[in-house]
Structure 1
Amino acid sequence: MKRVMIYAYTQFNLGDDLFIKVLCERYPNTNFVLYAPSRYKITFKEINNITFYPSDSIINRGVNYLFRKLGLNEVIRRILVRRCNAVVQIGGSLFIQGENWKGILEHTEAMKPKDKPFYLLGTNFGPYSNSDFYESYKEIFRNYTDICFRDQYSYNLFKDLNNTRLADDVIFQLKTQQIRKQENNIIISVIKPSIREHLSQYDEIYYNKIKDIAIYFIEKGYYVTLMSFCELEGDKEAVENIVDLIPSEFSVRVKKHYYTTNIEDTLNLIAQSSFIVATRFHSMILGWVFNKPVFPIIYSEKMTNVMKDVGFKGLFTDFKNINSVKPEQVFECIQMNLLDVSKQVKRAEGHFEKLDKYLYEIE
């Protein structure tokens, strides 16, 4: 059995955790190594081919602190990589230009071992505003074994490199079970806008609009589940703020769901729902995967780019226009916003084309 190191965003974000789930379930005869908080053993308790190294153990925290002081970050992870045959970095918005982008660039450059294959899967690129940012990453990408982007825009930026490819989002490859019972319940995935600089002024507007949409659906006989995908990024706080705005006579029909380590419970809620109001990118994707009508609320161009790629023609909004959206328009999307993604499900398998070849050749 070969060993493959996983680089991923391990902060209990549902979308990123699903990337790991899909990857490991595809290759049951490969041993994956994950350096992550110890609670990830609960998240992936049903997956037998992951070896966990807890990043939050007392020893590891002490060693990392010491090496940070010495300027040698990520030493434990690099030691683990040496014992692996290859590295897979899997994630979505990994390359966003921020204030400290040069420091992050150095970290990214150091991630690739010199003597092992390195696969970058499922990602998009940007947004960015500096050509140096783009050119710097392009130089790093030249040395990767394989890169598969999830949207046409990102692929077009690097298509002149001979190691880049394009496939639909990895989560279209999620294995789904047939859910017989559909509840009279809608899912509203929410975010805290102000943790993103370009949405810093939108908390009150957004929370009130979600409150209005929830009340309208309740008046139409539905239950509403406000769903947090990532507590660290403020989703749970957003849920609580919205619930506080809902009058008591409606609150009995409002449920709260916080994703932490409970992947299957969260997926089942989505699968059994009637409709998705999707602010989180992967709530949109999961809605389509489970054949639900989806009303997207766009907080990032990555959503717009994918909607264009899949040919989504339904009603949606972005934050600039959210105040003008009427709840009755959102309600009408139950009948209008279905999307057949059978082609995307098939094309998403393309992410693993090169990794398939590598693992099956050496196993």
Structure 2
Amino acid sequence: MRWVIKRSNRMKKVMLYAYTNLNLGDDLFIKILCNRYPNTKFFLYAPKKYKKFEKEIKNLKVFSSDSFFSRIINLILRKLKFFYFIRKQIAKRTDISVYIGGSLYMQHDNWESSYIDKKHMQFNDSPFLVLGANFGPFNQKQFYERYNKLFKNYYDICFRDSYSYNLFKHYNHVRFSDDIIFQLGIKKRNIKKKNNIIISVIKPSQKCIPCVDDGYYEKIKEISNYFIKNNYTVTLMSFCESEGDEEAVESVIKRIPKIYRYKVERHLYQANIEETLNVIASSSGVVATRFHSMILGWIYDKPVYPIVYSDKMLNVMEDIAFRGFYGDLRNKIHRIHPNEVFESLNTNSMDVSKQVHNSSKHFKKLDELLLTKPIN
């Protein structure tokens, strides 16, 4: 495909596509990307709650996707068979499009509508880049074939794991590097360590893992009790309210005996990025069900006990040669023993300096488009 790459001295404009549901990991993707290119303007079509990020990220412009005006216009135009009209009008004002995120290509029941949405993100001959994603899990050949055809027309794709890369390595513009969030490891946080354990929790049924919610909450309760009995405080952390994390926090707390609850805190992510990162950085260790709680724990030199809910976690653990203890909540939750989780404080540390360095390679092609002098 012949790409039209606009060269000029004016400020470049990038159409930014991302998962905009106040999920800590995905919000960090947006922050890292925009901060890397301070002389570039990023346009994001997202719910109005994302307007608050404009105060912290000065080169980000958010166009409200759920305003009354937007909803009425889109409703009328959909009836006239004009789809994604407002989003396309915003994108026409930009030079480049970037789709950044992690689990962007998972097969769900409604995957075909999701595919159409992604297909409409690219609509002209300006470069379209995908950064930070993994592909799958999927169970239909048709799912793979549709995206294989779509990816052929992209300018650059950089996956975050070797499994995804190997599915599409027949394309010269497909690469892979370590997760983009490792970029946060470049800047150390000098924060006093507390005798506190972070436990990131999820609602398993929200992740298409049925019939294990109660067993999972009970296991997290057991782990929390064990740490409390060994003179630790516990922080139950939610990364994304809309995906059920806060509900999971409350479900665990109500199971913890009242005599221990004074040693249990809640930390609920609500666009408070720096506060959340500081809580993790000041901890003594992380019990990680959320994918990026695992990554953030390693970045801040914490021993991490992963509780796997998806192969995407296993794929990354394998890529970085993690050899510590871990659990799997997919029909194996009973195999997780609190004493083993506790012992992981002494065995599960990781040196991720290599991953911190390598993660910048996600931006190799985008650097060439946006920077006169690439960042090392």
Q: Which among 325, 330, 334 is matched to residue 323 of structure 1?
A: 334
Deviation at 1:361, TM superposition (A): 4.8
CA distance in 2, matches of 1:40, 1:102: 27
Alignment of 1:1-363 (within 5 A): 1-174=11-184, 175-197=186-208, 199-319=209-329, 320-361=331-372
Aligned length: 362
Deviation, 1:101, is: 1.9
Q: Give the drift of 1:131.
A: 1.1
Decide whether the 8 Å contact of 1:14 with 1:230 is kept in 2.
yes
Deviates more, 1:293-302 or 1:107-116: 107-116
**C-alpha distance in 1 between matches for 2:312 and 2:226:** 29
For 1:224 and 1:208, locate their aligned partners in 2 and report how far apart those are by CA, in whole Å: 15
CA contact (8 A) 2:191 2:278 kept: no
Q: What RMSD, in angstroms, separates the aligned Cα atoms of the two structures?
A: 1.4
CA distance in 2, matches of 1:191, 1:176: 28
Counterpart of 1:93 in 2: which secondary structure?
Answer: coil
Cα distance in 1 between the residues matched to 2:122 and 2:43: 15
Once residues 43 and 235 of structure 1 are traced to their aligned partners in structure 2, the CA distance between those partners, rounded to angstroms, is 22
2: CA distance between counterparts of 1:220 and 1:71?
62
Partner amino acid for 1:287?
G
- Contact 1:39–1:261, Cα closer than 8 Å, also in 2: no
**Contact 1:43-1:263 at 8 Å conserved across structures:** no
Q: Once the two structures are aligned, what percentage of the paired residues are identical?
A: 53
Residues 129, 48 of structure 1: alpha-carbon distance in 2 compared, 3 angstrom cutoff: same
Which stretch shows the higher mean deviation, 60-69 or 225-234? 60-69
Give the unaligned 5+ runs of structure 2.
1-10
The CA deviation at 1:266 is 0.5
Q: Which runs of 5+ in 1 are unaligned?
A: none
Q: CA contact under 8 A between 1:43 and 1:262: conserved in structure 2?
A: no
